[in-house]
Amino acid sequence: MARSNEAEAFFYAVYSAVQEIPYGKVTSYGHIAKLVGFPERPRQVGVCLKHLPIDPQARHNNYNVPWQRVINSKGVVSPRSQPSGSQIQATALRAEGISVQTGALGELTVDLAEYGWFPRVLPSAVDEDDDMSEQ
DNA sequence: ATATTGACCTTTT
DNA sequence: AAAAAGGCCAATA
């Protein structure tokens, strides 16, 4: 089964990375992509998560994967196809104590400064370099 | 079989 | 400052 060994590895890597997200924290698709070693493929991360809770035995599904903790880089829950889906995700996030604000257009925004989880991947890129613009 | 879409991100106007 | 374009590749049409 599976498509290719490469694709399967990517799926599993993504699921593992998502499982690393602490409870009550969120991260972005792009960061997950970086963690698995493919910073240029954030969209495929979404493809992987889309497969998750739908079919229990369709593909490498894993109910232990907290897909809800993955949002886009703007700190907004991805609207996805149906508006209800984002609401479900927002509800799940609130259940973890994450504050999700609803915009006028139904945009579900999360404060990345508070709930964002972005561990640095690079081994030794910057050490004593003080970042002054952080917020 | 080819063509378009999409739970996105970065770089470039 | 905001908007457009490019890129990526599995899944769907």
Q: Note whether residue A97 is domain-resident.
A: yes
Q: Round to whole Å and give the CA distance between A25 and A23.
A: 6
What does the pLDDT look like over A52-99, one tens digit per residue?
864 444 455 667 889 999 999 999 999 887 778 899 899 999 999 999
* Nucleic strand C within 7 A of Cβ A30: no
Q: Note whether residue A28 is domain-resident.
A: yes
Model confidence at A1, pLDDT cuts 50, 70, 90, reads very low
Q: Note whether residue A121 is domain-resident.
A: no
Q: Per mean pLDDT, which range of A12-16, A20-24, A45-49, A129-133 is the poorest?
A: A129-133
What does the pLDDT look like over A6-15, one tens digit per residue?
778 899 999 9
C1’ C12 / CA A133, Å: 43
CA of A111: how far to CAs of A41, A94, A98, A108, in Å? Answer: 24, 12, 9, 10
Protein-proximal positions, strand C, CB < 7 A: 7-11
C1’ B5 / CA A102, Å: 27
Model confidence at A25, pLDDT cuts 50, 70, 90, reads very high
Q: Give me the pLDDT at residue A5, please.
A: 74
Q: Give me the pLDDT at residue A60, please.
A: 58
Q: Note whether residue A102 is domain-resident.
A: yes
Q: Note whether residue A55 is domain-resident.
A: yes
Average pLDDT value over all residues in chain A = 83
Domain that holds residue A69: 5-115
* Nucleic strand C within 7 A of Cβ A4: yes
CATH label of the domain that carries residue A89? 1.10.10.10
